[in-house]
Structure 1
Amino acid sequence: MTSERALSVDVEQDGDLTVVRLTGELDVSTTGGVRTVLDDLLIDGAPRLVVDLTALDFMDSAGLGLLVRTHRQARTFRGAFAVVCHEGIVTHLLSMTGLAHVIRVFSSVQDAAAAM
């Protein structure tokens, strides 16, 4: 399976809210393309950026690193950043690594948008 098939990236914009929905596997072979999308959005001035991980089947340390990097860049650009995920492997990884205390994590895009 190629990385293009392993991960789908969809971007939705609603006013100043940008939602990036990831479906599939976020790992060392797929983070490069996602990083480019997120970097471009932040450089273009996305004031409120939400990464929706609810449809991820798998995420490794490269995916965690990408979330930390995006969080830092959003702060540099004075934007807001949040992650959406449901109970499961991604939530477990964020909690286990302590990133749930650093990155704003919500259970829905609506909750994230309201808090930003």
Structure 2
Amino acid sequence: MDEQTVEQVGLPLRVDVTRREHATLLTCTGEVDLATVSLLRTVMNDEVVEGRVDLVIDLRGVDFMDSSGLGALIGAHRKTRAFKGGLRLVVTTPALLRLLAITSLDRVLEICSTLEEAWPADG
């Protein structure tokens, strides 16, 4: 298991990266918006480029997300699928669940309520 924390001074977003054999867990804490989305997008892209195409993104610590954050998740979903991988989100925050529902992204993205549910069976 390999762990890393990615953050930029002054930005209200931190991404903890935990790499395991069968998937990578990205644990996000803070806000995902126009000011911070490039950090999340870069981390997700770097994982896929390095061949880690099964991503679990834990959004339980995210207290705000705007359309740029949703766009980054859609982009990561498309990219992981293109490389025969997958993207699963862990979401429990009512506001974020509502945002995913009203944009119908809950029909496109795999949304789980626990890490155990999101983690690949063989990982």
Normalising by structure 1, we get a TM-score of 0.92
Matched, 1:67 2:73: yes
Q: Partner residue of 1:57? A: 63
Two-structure CA RMSD over aligned residues (Å): 1.7
CA contact (8 A) 1:3 1:30 kept: no
What is the aligned counterpart of 1:41 among 44, 47, 66? 47
Selected match of 2:17 from 8, 11, 15: 11
Structure 2, unmatched stretches of 5+, are 1-7
Q: How many residues align?
A: 115
1:19 aligned counterpart, secondary structure? strand
If each structure's helix is expressed as a fraction of its own residues, which one has the higher value?
1
Aligned residue identity for 2:30: G
User: For the residues of structure 2 that align with 1:14 and 1:3, how far apart are their CA atoms?
Assistant: 27
Q: Which residue of 107, 111, 122 corresponds with 1:105?
A: 111
Identity, in percent, stands at: 37
Q: Compute the TM-score of the two structures, normalised by the length of structure 2.
A: 0.87
Instruction: Write the distance in 2 (CA, Å) between the matches of 1:51 and 1:103.
Output: 11
CA offsets per residue over residues 57-76 of structure 1, 9 Å max, x none? Answer: 10000000011000000111
Deviation at 1:93, TM superposition (A): 0.5
Q: Which structure 1 residue ranges, 5 or more long, are not aligned?
A: none
